Amino acid sequence: MKKKNVFIVFFIAFFIALLFKILTHTQFFNLFTSSKSIVINENKTYTLKKTFKKEQCYQVGLHSSDKLFYSTMYEPFVFKNSTFKLKFLNEQNQILKTTIINKDSALRHSWKTGGMVFDSTSVTFDVFNIPLKNYKKIKVVLEVGKLNDKYKDKKVKFYFKKYRDNCDMEALKILDYKHSHPITRKEDNATLKPLFKALVSKDTKAVKDILENNQSLCDSNFIGNRTVFTYSAYLDDFKTLSYLIDKCGTKKLHLEDVIKKTPLVYAIEHNSTKVLDLLFENGGECPEVLTNEYIKTYVGSGITYRKGAWGKNISKFVYSYNLPEIADVLLKYRCINVNEKRINFGRSQTWIELMEIDMRGTQQMKDDNDSGWKLQKDYTELLKVFKKYSKKYQKENNITQGIANGK
């Protein structure tokens, strides 16, 4: 009997050890290594150093045991009257990432341990996706400016989560470029500075004057391998973009920059609706990938939407950020399918059906005097767009095919 009990105990221990090994090699259980806690106060600079056991790729975030960054799901805490500057550096003191957090930033915990989401275009103490490749040491410098009372004397610590089992070097290079070559970065080439300034100022006359005197600048590569077209598409500058297409031609119109984005992708992601049709009319193609990095109602951390993907596709993109004008152009050029169905709470529904359910729910909340209805999206205009392209609604409402095709 004793031998049998010993065997059972040994078997259970072996099974637990095996299960633990399997789990710790999954993405979920590649948990966090964290820095020491610091107590933050106004007008102070804090420096933390972290040494890793081996070179890996990590995500970086912030955690507070004092619930500094905790709030209910629909009431993310706003950084009112507070200012932070955050820098990550490698062993050679090269800056990997610099972030400003201010009154426009709002943050809350996500559902999973260590994860966070934010409700602002301003980057906050989220999971930064910094590729700490080839480094065993990282330095975090936190410069605290103003603090409101909820922040004073609170403990915070940084955590580092394993990014992937195998580093995708190409993807990590793109991440590096996103941090070091954002589209908002200023041009440092003296020859190109006047044209760059005119483009980002949406000064069509200045652009004309420069290019009329030196048309060869049409072929310029600005910082981040961007073209004369990129900034006008990003800034929804239809007038300048129209001139550039006439003056410079379309040879470089759809070139990708260092982070694999074309002017057309920038236009969609930044809700630049005026220029989007123009880009499609001049050889633009349906995008394969979109991200939410420039959306004003941005919630989440670098969400990627892929053409034809299940769950997070281009249709989900226009639905999530309620973009009726963008949807109109994408439907016109058949970049999204109005009759596509998705599973929602076990039911197969079209996007039209889903939005109608959302709208009924919002109306019910309003009828019940539930203040949460103010936080719901109004899909009225997006519904009109989707219905315009739906054969079912065309037939039911006697809409002509010409109208449905956006003509």
Tell me the pLDDT tens digit for each residue of 50-96. 777 666 666 666 666 555 544 433 334 455 677 888 787 877 888 87
Task: Decide: 284 and 264 in contact? Cβ < 8 Å.
Answer: yes
Q: How high is the pLDDT of residue 57?
A: 62
Query: Angle CA(6)–CA(10)–CA(16) in degrees, nearest 5?
Result: 145
Higher pLDDT, 13 or 250: 250
- Residue 228: CB atoms within 10 A of its CB come to 30
Q: What is the mean pLDDT of the chain?
A: 76
Q: In b/e form, how buried is each residue of 278-304, taking b as 16+ CB within 10 angstroms?
A: bbbebebeebeebbbbbbeebbebebe
In tens, the pLDDT along 206-243 reads: 999 999 999 999 999 999 999 999 999 999 999 999 99
Is 110's pLDDT higher than 50?
Answer: no
Is 359's pLDDT higher than 60?
Answer: yes
Task: Decide: 312 and 306 in contact? Cβ < 8 Å.
Answer: yes
Task: Decide: 338 and 390 in contact? Cβ < 8 Å.
Answer: yes
The model scores a pTM over 0.85: no
Q: What are phi and psi of 126, to 5 degrees?
A: -100, -175
Closest CA to 102 of 121, 117, 127: 121
**Nearby residues of 223 by Cβ (< 8 Å), 6 or more positions away:** 181, 185, 186, 187, 188, 189
What is the maximal distance between C-alpha atoms in the chain?
A: 98
Q: How high is the pLDDT of residue 34?
A: 66
Task: Say which amino acid occupies 100.
Answer: I
Query: Angle CA(118)–CA(123)–CA(124) in degrees, nearest 5?
Result: 60
Under the banding of pLDDT at 50, 70 and 90, the label for residue 192 is very high
Chain centre distance of CA 282: 27
Tell me the pairing of strands 347-350 and 341-344. antiparallel
Q: What are phi and psi of 318, to 5 degrees?
A: -70, -30
Q: In b/e form, how buried is each residue of 329-345, taking b as 16+ CB within 10 angstroms?
A: bbbbeebbebeeebeee
Q: How high is the pLDDT of residue 348?
A: 80
Task: Decide: 185 and 231 in contact? Cβ < 8 Å.
Answer: no
Locate 328 and state its tokens. 């109109």
Under the banding of pLDDT at 50, 70 and 90, the label for residue 107 is very low
Q: How high is the pLDDT of residue 86?
A: 79
Residue holding tokens 């073209």? 227
Residue holding tokens 């990708």? 256
- The whole-angstrom separation of Cα 170 and Cα 173 is 5
Domains detected in the chain = 36-180 (2.60.120)
Locate 307 and state its tokens. 């053409």
**Nearby residues of 11 by Cβ (< 8 Å), 6 or more positions away:** none
Is 297's pLDDT higher than 60?
Answer: no
Closest CA to 192 of 217, 211, 225: 217
CA distances from 407 to 9, 225, 389, 396 (A): 75, 36, 11, 19
In tens, the pLDDT along 112-169 reads: 434 443 333 222 333 344 555 556 777 888 898 888 776 677 777 776 666 555 556 6
